[in-house]
Chains A and B, each alone.
Chain A
Amino acid sequence: MKIPDHIVDEVRQRSLTSNPRMATFAHQERHPNLDEITIMPTQLNGPRARDFHTEVIATDLVIGEGRCSKPLSLDFPIMFGGMSIWDLTQNARMALIKASSGLFIPFNAGAGGLRVPERNAIKEMDAPIIHQWTPARLGMDADALRESSAVEIQLGRGMVTSLGSPIYKGSMDLELTEHLGLPPAVDGYRPPRHLDIESPKDLKKVITLIREITSYDIPIIVKIGTANVYGDIRYCVKAGADAVVLDTSEAGGYKYPQAIGNGIGLTSLAAITPAVQAFTDTNAKGDNVKLIISGGVITGVDAFKLLALGADGVAIGRGLCLALNSDEVEDGIPQGVFYGTDDKTLDVDFSAQNVINYVRSMATELAHVTAMTGNSSLETVTKDCLRAVTYNAAAVTGLKLAGYERNLLMWEH
């Protein structure tokens, strides 16, 4: 039997360099995934189907309602995932800022904050912005917190949850190094965890710190990877987060060690059930805390599946990157989007409009499917309108298995 090429390449790379292969974009074929469940529209035996064209389908999402003085209101429950200042080119980030203004979805600055032109553009467009409070705190200061529409405390991320990494000398240009407050010609470091957060009590204190600086105005979001999903989410809710972003193994990924990224954590489909259970057990929904799932979402149908399973919203990243320059994709990587590549051909206005088109198509599709299931609001959608089409998907979600039309016995308790 022939050994697959990717295994040969992996071993070759390691033997030549003592380093594993790196990859961009999370592995998209991990299981169980959203393709293993399907949406059941309504017909005779169920609520009547809604008419998307003539009826209002409510898809709005409010984060922080009743919890802070300036909650974040979105027309549809789709957010931009955070991508670091050293992940994307300047033009790519400017296009996302412009798109965020058009969609009124906050641009998530990711680790490293905002460059001066980005900050000016956001002020000029009055665009909403989310700043990330990361384990390295690069580009972070009180001004950044105060200009935010929400602050996201990043505890973990995607498929490289809890992975620390050096910032190699020369891997960023001098302007960016200076912006980040790093001395020139030295290596920097991104630690795997916040040095001041070792317990839920510590997380609560960080949330208090940020609330004090932002005058209790804006929502505080906590972003985690998929580790002990149930336990971690309980801690986040108890610590006072207004929303929890669960960044799953299908999310993120820019030059990450492929074997690690592919081998750890849970997919969105596998992670959402313990996440929702943690929300239920802490009465998080009753307290207006929101659950956002990030990972594996490309279409409005993907988003709907997660919302029906109990999420309040989704965050997207890979789709945004592809939409920025879908005309020029080589080996699955859109050109001029990722830091270190030539972004001169990436037209900011054109790319921004592409992102707006892409996200609007998702939102429209989301409303369409909501109507097809007989709901006039996402709030009334439940997992009853979903079926698992594989045994594994039924096992990890507790959904009825298609054909069998019942939950698996392990869920009958």
Chain B
Amino acid sequence: MEEKVSKTPDINRAIALQMKQSKKIKISGLKSHDAIAVGIDAEIELTVEGEAGDYFGALNSGAIVKLNGNGGRFVGDSMTGGGIIVTGFIGGGAGDYMKGGIIVVKGNVKGACGRMMAGGVIIVDGNVGDNVGLNMCGGDIIVIGDAAGAIGNYMTGGRIYIGGEHASLGLNTTITDLDMQDVNLLDTYFNHYGISSHSTIFKKIVPTSATPFSDELENVDDSHKGDRL
């Protein structure tokens, strides 16, 4: 079924309408519209041609959404499941607050990604900006290219894999060697998403402590620990 619409609410309404009839949907001609394909819980496959604005695929929980083009900021924000694949570059904030699912970006991310992330996977087949994985407590971020500064700042969980250079580490982060589980994980993703890289060049960044804030409480009198939440 073909329908011509031009505004964000109309586009999302058309997607919702088509979801009732098919599990494979395609839309084209997107022109930087914000908040397209948001909050989809159905297990559909949605292909989008054009340039997306901000919050593309935000709060996705079930759909596999492919964007053939570039995207704006906050792609996949707060998503809990499903997948988003972007063939071009996107703005910062991809996968912020993410709790599940997977985001694959074939180009660069112009800024941070995976901040406050608690679960899921972000793969960037390009470079990323500052503060990747800021305050993340779970999930995996895989950057094939270079990362700017403060990577993983105050992360308390999860893993960040970097294939290229990184400008500086964030606080509470440590670089470790990859083990076999890491190698298998990366190779599986690379094969599945057609990424031409090799796991042997990667380094892994993990939290130095999973409880950096609680550690600060160690010196506090027991009678006052309950005062902190």
Contacts and interface: CB of A to CB of B under 8 A. Distances in A.
Contacts of A182: 118, 137-138
Contacts of A191: 116, 135
B88 interface: no
A86 B38 contact: no
A182 B210 CA distance: 12
Contacts of A16: 221, 224
B17 interface: no
A102 interface: no
Contact of B93 (A195, A212, A340): A195
Interface string A229-260: 00000000000000000000000001100000
Interface string B58-94: 1101000000000001100110100000000000010
Given A136-B116, A145-B39, A196 B77 contact: yes
A181 B138 CA distance: 9
Taking each of B116, B137, B207, B229, which has the highest tally of chain A beta carbons within 10 Å of its own beta carbon? B229
B38 A213 contact: yes
Dominant secondary structure of chain B at its interface with chain A: loop
Given A136-B116, A196-B93, A255-B227, A208 B220 contact: no
A255 B224 CA distance: 11
Contacts of A66: none
Given A137-B78, A195-B96, A196-B77, A86 B229 contact: yes
Contacts of B9: 212, 216
Interface string B134-149: 1101100000000000
Contacts of A406: none
A342 interface: no
Contacts of A171: 228-229
A312 B210 CA distance: 46
B218 to A, nearest CB: 11
Interface residues of B, number: 49
B39 A186 contact: no
Given A22-B227, A181-B118, A142 B210 contact: no
29 contacts: A18-B219, A86-B229, A140-B78, A141-B59, A166-B214, A169-B211, A169-B214, A171-B228, A182-B118, A183-B118, A185-B210, A185-B211, A186-B137, A186-B138, A186-B156, A187-B156, A187-B210, A187-B211, A187-B213, A187-B214, A189-B135, A189-B154, A191-B135, A205-B54, A205-B55, A209-B34, A209-B58, A213-B39, A340-B226
Interface of A: 13, 16-19, 22, 86, 136-137, 140-143, 145-146, 165-171, 181-183, 185-189, 191, 195-196, 205, 208-209, 212-213, 216, 254-255, 339-340
